[in-house]
Structure 1
Amino acid sequence: MKNILFAAALLGGMSAAAQQPTRSQAPADTLAPPAEQTQRPPGTATRPSAIVGTAGADKNELKYNLNESGSHFFKVTFLNQTWLRLNQSNPGTTVNQVPKENTFDIGLRRTRIQMFGQLTDHVFLYVQFGMNNFNFLNAFPSYNNNGTPANRKIAAFFHDAVGEYLVFKNKDYLKLGAGLTIVNGLSRFSQPSVSSIMSMDVPVFAQATVDQTDEFSRKLSLYARGQVGPIDYRVAVSDPFPVQTNGATPAPLSSFSNFAQKGHTKQFQGLFLYQFFDKEANQTPGYMTGTYLGKKKIFNLEGGFITQKAAMWHREATADTVYTDLNLWSLAAFLDMPLNRQTGSAINAYVGYFNLNYGPNYLRFNGIMNPASGTTASLPGASGTQGNAFPMFGTGKVVYAQVGYLLRQDLFGAGKGTLMPYAQMQMADYQRLTKGMSVFNVGLNYLINGHNGKLTLDYQNRPIYEAAGTQLAPTGRRGQFVVQYQVFI
């Protein structure tokens, strides 16, 4: 009977949400509304019910209270990000075996369902299900590595499945959790809240092992996290997946370092932040907000790391196989605060330094939701160079920076939204490249209804390469335009 009442309440909440426009809201961890729990006012109904819009004037949510105060609850959120993209292809690009200098595609960058709740004073459950990078080539090539036909219907999977225990009641000092989780080290962008991204997309290089020895940045982990005074911390021991299970043919053993296909060791990671002003949202495991749209005053310094013994291998001239450790660390500063509380204007800025050691001459090309299926070009020790790919990951040093400016609220009139222009820069000095690499993005967010309804126009400019002995040398640049429409509740 409870299940029937819960389902009916959620459906009623969705109907109400569809009929009532929401106002701009402060984002929180991952896809969720703000982390601060809302208490029910005295005298409200004592039995649990679906709550839509009762958590304050600034938010609507699909929330089922498990006790009278609302401190125990269960919540559901939905996110969809649709891309329309025009891309200048990298040299040699083919689409279904036909050369293409330019491509236009429509895709789903992310589609997610999130379910989580504080079930008791100490017990927290978090589950996320969805898919990523779903375009017309989602099931390409026509056959998987084992020779069976590919299937475009199996793209969705569990991103997270975590049980967490709050050690001290009503205090965030220590939370212990285990399961499939994005609780990571290295940086805030290694565990981004995808619904609240300031720019159109995150710097994916910070998700250092994405789809190599993890599941879209998630790992089977045991972790501790919390906030003590101005310190926000998370530490984890993870059980990484073998690279052979990532759905692609593993790179052959060569003089270029890559993830080892023999042996298995645990991975250790941590991230520590010093928060000078307001505390960041800390409700859901790991996820860090992109921008609070001026609703909080945030300035943090952070440092993080990921390390794993004998995670990488390569072959030296003597034909000996050499195993090396994976060692990654970063230092960064993050700013997100209002500039004028009367008008609602705000600024978002981040600058970080990343020292990345994947072993000698490691380099990985990657193109987000790549619109191409193959290439006729050949670069030494490199694969997946077609479409919109560039050397995103590598052994070396990276500086990443971003800045955005939120214009005054109701720029176009009451309830008609505002704008937030932004710029991003990734500058890398990788061993395999003859000179430093730079990728630039500029864009404009139209915040129709905060992060709940958002339209983004983004232009990216990236380098292209040719062989220079065993290294790669830049030969020019290419660009892509993307329009993204995000809907989130």
Structure 2
Amino acid sequence: MTKFTVCSLLFLTLLFSLDVNAQKGNTSAQKNDSGELKYHLNEDGSHYVKATFLNQIWVRNTWNNPGTTVDGYLENQTFDIGLRRTRIQLFGKIADKIFFYTQFGNNNLTYLGERKQGLFFHDALGELEVIGNKLSVGTGLTGWNGVSRYASPSIGSILSLDAPLYQQTTNDATDQFLRKYSLYFKGKLNRLDYRMAISKPMAVSQSGVQPDNPAENALFAASPASLQWHGYYMYQFQDLESNLTPYNAGSYLGKKSVFNIGAGFLFQNDAMWFLNGPNDALEYGNLSLFSMDVFYDQPLDSNKGTAITAYGAFQASDYGRNYVRNVGVMNPTNGTVGAGIFNGAGNNFPMMGTGSTFYGQIGYLMERNLLGTWGTLQPFLTSQLSDFDGLDDSMLMYEYGFNWLIRGNQTKLSMHYQSRPVFMEGTSGTFQSDRKGMLVVQFQIAI
């Protein structure tokens, strides 16, 4: 039996249980008028199982980096339709102090990908409440990560088209789409929300984002990895945010007054390696990351329903000597013949690296029912500015667009334009030579 079949049967079984419970009027389940797929396990609803579904469909045009090819054919721009994220969550509290959380689905399904792909688990964890909301301990495959707010983003409420992915610092190099095998600790001490984790990095030999062999510039070491230590701490000045799951909201659409200041870190001994000296001696280096950020989400006019969302972050990153990683989200191409093009193919650009990064985003929620029964709009602007040791010019990426909130974050259309730099490698260094763009329309459906 395939993983897809098993996951589908689990989800359908839950839906059937919900339907049967509703038809029988089971007294062990409270009435649920919120539109949630939720099954109560006891009279007061404190024990429950809940399911959610989300699908994000991208329709886009990408102006490719110079020399890009698709199956060996040169292509200057690519139009495609793909599934950026398709997810099912199943989680709940099955006893007074016992919580479980699973998430399965898939990412980045495109016309170039393998067909008939199966679903896989993003998260699968068990958690024990030790001291009320002050301390819980859990373990498994999980997104309870350190460094910064959007190291673990809530994908259904992202303000812009995508989260700041540079904050997912080891994405698919030594983890699985930001998830790690971890032992974690989390809780709230008055207004201080904290999370700490000890993780066993996944084997680099099973990663497709870099070669297994060392090079002149630092890469993640393919030798057996030491433990990774990370944490993130938020002081919440106004409304308290939920820490039921690890994923942080991008926008509350005027439903909360939130002002948080956060700081985080990640450290792994001898995580990186590189070749040094005339004899190419193998050397190791530590992975050390530190960040500070601020998140502000505030209703402006309660009668009109307007609100503002803003986020700013600084991150200092030491991945080792001249480490730079190019990332292209759901890259619509698969090859390049561009001589000297540092970015590589398609929509790749230097997103992560040794150096410093500033990031900011701002969005404005327009008045409620601006479009009548068709909802309202939320324009946004984001930008990432990085000074990487391995590049001679700063890296500036910016994005702008709007969300058409037909039914909040449950049903929304987003239009988004991204401008990215193109870098060239030469004998005198690596410099920006051009800029390219990507235009995306996303349709999001969530339950």
- Of residues 394, 401, 419, the one that matches 1:436 is 394
1:192 alignment counterpart? 153
Q: Kindly state the Cα deviation for residue 7 of structure 1 after the two structures are TM-superposed.
A: 4.5
* Aligned equivalents of 2:429, 2:186: Cα separation in 1: 41
> 1:379/1:182 Cα in 2 relative to 1: closer, same or farther (>3 Å)?
farther
Q: In the alignment, is the contact (CA less than 8 A) between 2:173 and 2:208 conserved in 1?
A: no
What residue is the counterpart of 1:467 in the other structure? 425
2:88 is matched with: 113
- CA distance in 2: counterparts of 1:216 and 1:5, whole angstroms: 27
Partner in structure 1 of residue 235 of structure 2: 274
Contact 2:172-2:209 within 8 A present in 1 as well: no
Q: TM-score, normalised by structure 2?
A: 0.94
Q: Report what 1:385 is aligned to.
A: 344
Amino acid at match of 1:352: A
| Corresponding residue number in structure 2 for 1:224 | 185
Equivalent residue in structure 2 for 1:395, among 337, 350, 354: 354
For 2:273, the equivalent position in structure 1 comes to 313
Aligned residue for 1:10?
18
Whole-angstrom CA distance in 2 between matches of 1:12 and 1:454: 31
Q: Distance in 2 between matches of 1:173 and 1:312?
A: 35
Q: Is the CA contact (8 Å cut-off) linking 1:117 and 1:124 kept in structure 2?
A: yes
Is the strand fraction higher in 1 or 2? 2
Q: Does 1:136 align with 2:117?
A: no
CA separation of 1:12 and 1:111: change in aligned 2, threshold 3 A: farther
The CA RMSD measured in Å over matched residues stands at 2.0
- C-alpha separation between the residues in 2 aligned to 1:6 and 1:203? 34
Deviates more, 1:395-404 or 1:4-13: 4-13
**What is the DSSP-based 3-state SS (H/G/I as helix, E as strand, rest coil) of the residue aligned with 2:296?**
strand
For residue 58 of structure 2, what is the aligned residue in structure 1?
83
What letter matches 2:247 in structure 1? Answer: Y
Q: Which amino acid aligns with 1:305?
A: F
**8 Å CA contact retained: 2:205, 2:212:** no
SS at match of 1:154: coil
Task: Give the C-alpha shift of residue 342 in structure 1.
Answer: 1.4
**Separation in 2 of the partners of 1:257 and 1:200?**
31
Instruction: Tell me the distance in 1 between the aligned counterparts of 2:428 and 2:187.
Output: 46
Is structure 2 residue 146 aligned with structure 1 residue 165? Answer: no
Q: Could you tell me which residue of structure 2 aligns to residue 29 of structure 1?
A: none
Q: Could you list the per-position Cα deviations for residues 152-171 of structure 1 after superposition, in whole angstroms to 9, with x for gaps in the alignment? A: 32352100000001113xx3
Pick one of 409, 413, 420 that aligns with 1:455: 413
Partners of 1:470 and 1:431 in 2: how far apart?
14
Unaligned runs of 5+ in 1: 16-43, 54-58, 140-151
Give the match for residue 326 of structure 2: 365
**Equivalent residue for 2:293?**
332
User: Using the alignment, how far apart are the partners of 2:267 and 2:136 within structure 1?
Assistant: 22
Cα distance between partner residues in 2 of 1:297 and 1:14: 35
Deviations 1:365-416 (CA, angstroms, capped at 9, x unpaired): 1100001110002448x6x710011001111100000000001111112x42
Q: Deviations over 1:26-56 (max 9, x none)?
A: xxxxxxxxxxxxxxxxxx963237x542xxx
Could you say if the C-alpha distance between residues 246 and 315 of structure 1 is closer, same or farther in structure 2, counting changes exceeding 3 Å?
A: same
What is the distance in 1 between the residues matched to 2:175 and 2:406? 35
The whole-number CA distance in structure 1 between the counterparts of 2:21 and 2:283 is 58
- What residue in structure 1 maps to residue 8 of structure 2? none
SS in 2 for 1:160: strand
Partner SS for 1:456? strand
| Rounded Cα–Cα distance in structure 1 between residues aligned with 2:285 and 2:12 | 55
Which shows bigger deviation, 4-13 or 265-274? 4-13
**In the comparison of the two structures, how many residue pairs are matched?**
435
- Contact conserved, 2:81 with 2:110, CA < 8 A, in 1? yes
Structure 1 Cα separation of the partners of residues 316 and 349 of structure 2: 19
Question: Could you tell me how far apart the structure 2 residues matched to 1:459 and 1:7 are?
Answer: 38
- SS at 2:226 equivalent: coil
**C-alpha separation in 2, matches of 1:13 and 1:450:** 28
The 3-state SS of whatever aligns with 2:116 is helix
1:20 aligned partner: none
Change (3 A) 1:6 1:481: closer
Q: TM-score, normalised by structure 1?
A: 0.86
Counterpart amino acid of residue 145 in structure 2: N
Q: Paired residue for 2:97?
A: 122
Q: Aligned pair 1:261/2:222, yes or no?
A: yes
Given that 2:149 and 2:293 are in contact with CA atoms closer than 8 Å, whether structure 1 keeps it comes out as no
Whether the 8 Å contact between 1:420 and 1:444 is mirrored in structure 2 is: yes
* Compared CA separation, residues 153 and 470, structure 1 to 2 (3 A): farther
Shift of 1:281: 1.4
Cα 1:66/1:406, change in 2 over 3 Å:
same
Q: Does 2:6 match 1:46?
A: no
- After TM superposition, the structure 1 stretch with the greater mean CA deviation from structure 2, 260-269 or 78-87, is 260-269
Unaligned runs of 5+ in 2: 1-10
The one-letter amino acid of 1:10's match is L
Please state how far the C-alpha of 1:220 moved relative to its aligned partner.
Answer: 0.2
Match of 2:444 in 1: 486
Cα 1:13/1:77, change in 2 over 3 Å: farther
